[in-house]
Amino acid sequence: MTDSTGRRVTANISLTLDGRYHGPGGPGDLGAIVPYATTEVARDHLTRLWETATTAVLGRRNAEGFLGYWPSVAGDENADPRDRGYAKWLVDTEKVVLSTTLAEAPWERTRVVNAPAADVVADLKATGEGDILVNSSASVIKALLSADLLDRLYLMVCPEIAGGGPRLFDELPASRWTLTHQDAGELGEIALVYDRAR
């Protein structure tokens, strides 16, 4: 699938060895993922995923969670420069929040859209420049994988088995991907970048 603007649709998510994006306790059950979020490999990976992106797409839950955390990092001179770089980018970039319940945008430079993820991203691809980054929102990533609209996957694989919780890659159509980057950390975490082979 090609597009006239050349915009690439990318997605970022952290997964356990058993392919889960949170544990059996629900969306807040990130005990198998959080210990690896601030490693050198994870921070370098974070920088890699936003450097070419000009639009962030978020689900409501992540938008609200990110709003409570990242703006303070952007202004924290003691924060890791890679964390600050990402935080400043996220605050300053165009954000599209997919939600059926939000009435108004939770951030500046943000618009709330109540429409299917595939439709919204197809519209974004048709205009503008730079990558479109779907940031850690599993429901959006799944919808885009189902519609074959993702061009790149940034994955952090954490060396733990959650033993329960939803899996990212359940019930999706078959697709082939090419590994374009890999980096292993001291704790056993692995940063992977896969491009869709079309």
Q: Write out the H or E segment, with its range, that includes residue 181.
A: strand 177-184
pLDDT surpasses 50 at 3: no
Q: What is the pLDDT of residue 107?
A: 87
Count of helices and strands (H, E) across the chain: 6, 8
**Among 79, 62, 73, which residue's Cα sits nearest to residue 27?**
62
pLDDT at 114 over 50: yes
Predicted confidence (pLDDT) at residue 17 exceeds the cutoff of 50 = yes
What pLDDT sits at residue 5?
55
Can you tell me the distance from the alpha carbon of 77 to that of 41, in angstroms, rounded to the nearest whole number? 21
Q: Is 61 exposed, middle or buried (0-12, 13-18, 19+ CB in 10 A)?
A: middle
Residue 1 has pLDDT above 50, yes or no: no
Q: If you average pLDDT over residues 14-32, what whole number do you get?
A: 96
How many alpha carbons fall within 13 Å on the CB side of residue 190? 11
Q: C-alpha angle 127/180/147, rounded to 5°? A: 45
Give the model's pLDDT for residue 105.
87
Pairing of β 110-113 and β 94-98: parallel
Q: Specify the 3-state DSSP secondary structure of 77.
A: coil
- Give, rounded to a whole angstrom, the gap between the first and last alpha carbons of the chain: 8
**Residue 52 pLDDT more than 90?**
yes
pLDDT at residue 51, as a whole number: 94
Q: What is the mean pLDDT of residues 29-47?
A: 95
Tokens matching residue 171: 């019930």
Place of tokens 């300053």: 92
- Element spanning 113, H or E: strand 110-113
> Could you tell me the maximum CA-CA distance found in the chain, to the nearest angstrom?
45
| Domains of the chain by start residue, with CATH | 9-189 (3.40.430.10)
The percentage of the chain sitting over the pLDDT mark of 70, rounded to a whole number, equals 97
As a residue count, the chain comes to 198
Residues 75-90 have a mean pLDDT of: 95
Per-residue pLDDT, averaged over 111-136, amounts to: 95
Q: How many CB atoms lie within 10 A of CB 128?
A: 12
- Least confident among 1-10, 78-87, 163-172, 188-197: 1-10
